[in-house]
């Protein structure tokens, strides 16, 4: 068994695709439209879907906003240099909600960014 994907609902599909591809550097892997079901799924990630977990962006026609609740935490992404990644994300128009630095009560360097729908993405720099 392996994890295939994580699905998040988005209020503006093209805005979300732009964030994940242009700000975080992911690729659109595949798209499926379901007009009879009134939704579209777009899978994005850093490589082939068969090589690792990806994110499924689900857009339900006519729904522009979702309540996130308190159960969902974040999506984690490995980056070689969290400090540099934050600078690049800000330069591309992304929002950094926690600058890069050691995690509380630890030494791992992390940062957090936020997507257009308010989902948090944690950037984790591997320890050397």
Can you tell me the distance from the alpha carbon of 26 to that of 23, in angstroms, rounded to the nearest whole number? 8
Can you tell me the distance from the alpha carbon of 69 to that of 61, in angstroms, rounded to the nearest whole number? 21
Q: Which residues are registered as beta bridge partners of 34?
A: 39
Active site residue 122: yes
Q: Which of 28, 49, 56, 122 does the annotation list as catalytic? A: 122
What ranges make up the beta strands (E) of the chain? Answer: 5-9, 27-34, 39-45, 54-60, 75-78, 95-102, 109-114, 120-125
Residue 82 φ/ψ, nearest 5 degrees: -65, -35
Nearest to 109 by CA among 101, 118, 120, 99: 101
- Supply the residues annotated as catalytic: 122
């Amino acid at each position: 068994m392996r994890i295939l994907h994580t699905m998040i609902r988005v209020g503006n599909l093209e805005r979300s695709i732009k964030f994940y591809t242009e700000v975080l550097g992911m690729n659109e892997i595949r798209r499926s439209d379901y007009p009879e079901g009134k939704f579209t799924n777009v899978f994005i990630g850093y490589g082939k879907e068969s090589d690792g977990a990806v994110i499924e962006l689900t857009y339900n026609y006519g729904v522009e906003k979702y309540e996130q609740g308190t159960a969902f935490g974040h999506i984690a992404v490995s980056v070689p240099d969290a400090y540099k990644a934050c600078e690049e994300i800000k330069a591309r128009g992304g929002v950094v909600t926690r600058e890069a630095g050691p995690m509380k009560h630890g030494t791992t360097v992390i940062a957090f960014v936020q997507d257009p729908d308010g989902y948090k993405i944690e950037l984790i720099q591997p320890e050397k």
